[in-house]
Amino acid sequence: MQEYQIRTDLALEATESVRKNASEDIRGINIEEYDVLDGVHVTKVEIASKNASKSLRKPMGKYFTLEAPELQEYDDDFHAQISKEIALLLKSILPDNDEEDSVLVVGLGNRDVTADALGPFTVDNLYITRHIIKEYGKDAYHNSKIKQISALIPGVMAKTGMETVEIIKGVISETKPDVIIIIDALAARSVKRLNRTVQITDTGIHPGSGVGNYRQALTDENLGVPVIAIGIPMVVDAGTIVCDALEKVSKEYAGAKESLNFIRNNSNLQLNNMYVTTKNIDETTKRLSFTLSEAINMALEI
């Protein structure tokens, strides 16, 4: 039983206890794990029942996760391989290819806040085709499988005065995409996930998730179109890191448990509005956004 609420956007972290303890079999959770490259691990979690959804506090649906510690390194070849693996996962979670022909990619977040810029930066590098196909047809690309790709960077509410969902709904009503892919920077619970874990889900984006947070859901149900969300953890809440550290030692020392409770209830720590990032986050955001945009370009047959 969980005693307190930990903020994580990763289903992988939410399912950790389940995965660790094979005997603790929860009905309605299907987990498949395998390595795709040396040191690159894929986990496919499907939350298939309401009970499972409730106990994990995550909506029903598929969550694919790729973990690659070396994503932090600056190796172009490795990043290219990872793009390919992400593309495969993305293709397998996209609705059936024949039914959807136009894709709107949305980059959430604030390009002026490094930790929140993954979405806008990813969209900057996408290959956009919709306007060309609208004007000249698919012949322009000599590729009948090519999709109509459009992209949007809606901006954050503090700068637009509008809910993200209002902007996206409006653009959907005018341009009628068949599917939406949303990119967003995530918050993780553990520093070991930072900048090295990619999550792809068909459950969309939910209130309170992401670095910038959202007040209204960006989901199939709310937008009327299938929504795939891709995210990478870029920050950990500073409060979380303290609790995390204490939890680790609480197995060894009784006093840590008390400390933990004290800290959780102690606003004097002034850790609100603080977060933990890697020192090279500016460079990392650029690299990871490029890796994601290449993956999307590949998945959409460009």
80 binds its own copies (CB under 8 A): no
Identified binder of its own copies from the candidate list 129, 201, 289, 293, rule CB under 8 A: 129
DSSP, res 255: H
Q: Is 274 in the site for its own copies (CB under 8 A)?
A: yes
Span interacting with its own copies, options 13-21, 25-33, 224-232, 278-286, rule CB under 8 A: 278-286
Half-sphere exposure of 274 (CA within 13 A, CB side): 10
140 binds its own copies (CB under 8 A): no
Figure out which of the listed residues 39, 170, 207, 224 binds its own copies, where binding follows CB under 8 A.
Answer: 170
CA-based nearest residue to 110, from 53, 45, 154 = 154
CB nearer to its own copies: give 27 or 251.
251
- Distance, in Å, from the CA atom of 188 to the CA atom of 13, rounded to the nearest integer, reads 8
Q: Smallest distance from the beta carbon of 53 to its own copies, in angstroms?
A: 29
Q: How far is the CB of 51 from its own copies (least distance, A)?
A: 34
Does 48 help bind its own copies (rule: CB under 8 A)?
no
Q: Is 61 within 8 Å of 47 (Cβ atoms)? A: yes
The CA-atom distances, in angstroms, between 29 and each of 2, 83, 137, 200, 210 are 18, 27, 44, 17, 24
- How near is the Cβ of 151 to its own copies at its closest, in Å? 6
Show the CA angle centred on residue 111, arms to residues 106 and 41, nearest 5°: 65
- Confirm or reject binding of residue 216 to its own copies (CB under 8 A): no
Greatest Cα pair distance in the chain: 70
Which amino acid does the sequence have at 275?
Y
Strand order in the sheet with 227-237: 29-37, 40-47, 61-67, 197-201, 227-237, 179-188, 102-107, 148-152
The residue count for binding its own copies (CB under 8 A) is: 71
Token pair of 280 as six digits: 């090279």
Q: Does residue 30 bind its own copies (CB under 8 A)?
A: no
Interactions with its own copies, residue window 143-162 (CB under 8 A): 148-153, 155, 157-162
User: Binding to its own copies by residue 175, rule CB under 8 A?
Assistant: yes
Residue 130 near its own copies by CB under 8 A: yes
Shortest Å distance, C-beta 259 to its own copies: 4
Of residues 232-271, those binding its own copies (CB under 8 A): 238, 241-242, 245-246, 248-250, 252-259, 262-263, 266, 268-271
